[in-house]
Each structure stands twice: as C-alpha cells, then as structure tokens.
Amino acid sequence: MADRLSIGLILPDVLGTYGDDGNALVLRQRARWRGLDAEIVRVGLGEAVPNDLDVYCIGGGEDSAQTLAAQHLIADGGLGRAAWAGRPIFAVCAGLQVLGESFRAGGRVYDGVGLIDATTAAMQNRAIGEVVSTPTGHGATAELTEPLTGFENHMGASILGREAKPLGRLRAGTGNMDESTFLDISDGQQQRASEGAVQGSVIATYMHGPALARNPQLADLLLAKAMGVSLAELEPLEIDAVTALRAERLAAAQG
C-alpha cells in the first residue's frame, strides 16, 4: 500500500467554474486523515499532463473552456496514457463531456478525448437542481453501495455508447439527458434513467457539490484505486459533518 499520493488537478484554470477543484481537496484531506502524505499537482492549460500521478480530477466549465481543454488534452496525450495505464480519473460535468467522443459547444460539434464512449448534444432546457442516483456497480465502481448525491447544472445531453456504462440509476433529477433527447434514441428509456458514466478507470458524473464532499464512499473508492487496494481495506472514517451533509442533501432531493 502506498504511503504517498499524488492527486492531479487537471486544467483548473479553464475547468474550475463550479467549485469542482474541491474534489482534489477532499481526496487530499481524506488521505491525510489516514496518515498518508498526499499532494495536489495542479496542471494548467498549456502544461504537460503527467501520466504517472496516482489519481486525476477534472471539473466543469463553460463552452469556450471546454473547447480549449479538449484541444489541449488531445494534443498532449498525457491523460489518455494515464487512463490506458489504469490510473483512476474522476471527471465532472464538462469533464465528462470533454472525455467523451464528441460534444457540442457554441453551436458546433468538437472532438473529445475519447476516453468515454459517449457523445454530448444539447438539451432544450437546462438541468439544474439536486440529483440522486443508485450506483450501478459497473466496472470500477463495483464496490459502491451508498446512494450518490450532488447538484447538477448543465445543458448537455450525454448519450452513452456500448463501451460506457452509467455510474448511477436516477432516483431524482435529470441526469445524463432529458425527455427531449431520449425520444430520439432506440434505448432512450434506459438512457433517460442514467447518471454519469464508467469506462475503464474513468468515473464521470454531472454531480457538483463538490461531488466527493457529498459522497465519501465514492471519494474513498478513488483513493483505494489510487493506492492499489480494495475499498474494504481502507481504514473507515466517521466524520459527523459529512454524515449530516449527506442526510440533509438526500432529504432535500427526495422530499
């Protein structure tokens, strides 16, 4: 088990609009609470993405920021090499869209990084509000058992291909797409109930919050993957404030 962790915060200068930088802070603090030496490595636009960090976080941003991020990540290739090496990557909102095959921004379609078999179109109405899902347990998320909760704020409709699986099944909120999108898809009813995506070592979601502050089990799963151990091998953490936050947000979303 590693006693030192490097946490990559990827392009926070362009994909840091919604406070998703906090996901890296949560990972660092939960690692430190367990006595690990953890550091955050910030990688800005124009800088090479190291392919040997232990875990990566990428957040949300506006249309123009997405296009800049996608162009940089495609040209650089470091995040792709990290994914191929099995390094855990956590992507939120625009991060999900950018890591897909393509996404729409400013009325145009742009190539994504291609780490998730998903294409993102535009919804008619913005999805905004609390979202709750039940983890599907696909792939890298097999050990997740607790409900997932966050705050969504997007107009992207992400359609999953055969290689990508949903992170969660919706209990409240819009998730990956709204009704105007799924009517045009052969498996639309199933896709309409989806939130996020899982493929290989990539876990992606539309949950802000930041998501890992509201979902400690998901945060610990990422830490476990980064350390090369199972979730069950991590020392449990009982943090009253986190428990209270989850209870409040789950009640608000489902009430």
Instruction: Check if 138 is active-site.
Output: no
Check the annotation: does 126 bind a ligand.
yes
205 vs 16: CA distance, rounded Å: 15
Instruction: Check if 72 is active-site.
Output: no
The residue count of the chain comes to 255
State the catalytic residue, choosing from 57, 72, 93, 154: 93
Q: What is the pLDDT of residues 58-107, one digit of tens each?
A: 999 998 999 999 999 999 999 999 999 999 999 999 999 999 999 998 88
Contact at 8 Å (CB) between 201 and 140? Answer: yes
Contact at 8 Å (CB) between 227 and 54? Answer: yes
pLDDT value of position 182: 57
Break the chain into its structural domains and give their ranges. 4-254
CATH 3.10.180.10 corresponds to the domain 4-254: no
Show Cβ contacts of residue 254 under 8 Å, excluding neighbours closer than 6 positions. 132, 171, 172
Q: What is the DSSP string of 57-123?
A: EE----HHHHHHHHHHHHHH-HHHHHHHTT--EEEETHHHHHHSSEEEETTEEEE--SSSSEEEEEE
Q: Which of 128-132, 195-199, 245-249, 251-255 is least confident?
A: 251-255
DSSP label at residue 141: G
Bigger pLDDT: 252 vs 153: 153
State the catalytic residue, choosing from 57, 72, 154, 208: 208
pLDDT value of position 250: 86
pLDDT averaged over every residue in the chain: 93
Beta bridge partners of 54: none
Q: What is the pLDDT of residues 227-250, one digit of tens each?
A: 999 999 999 998 898 889 888 888
pTM, whole model, 2 decimals? 0.95
Bigger pLDDT: 92 vs 4: 92
Q: What is the pLDDT of residues 14-32, one digit of tens each?
A: 998 889 999 999 999 999 9
Q: What is the pLDDT of residues 31-49, one digit of tens each?
A: 999 999 999 999 999 999 9
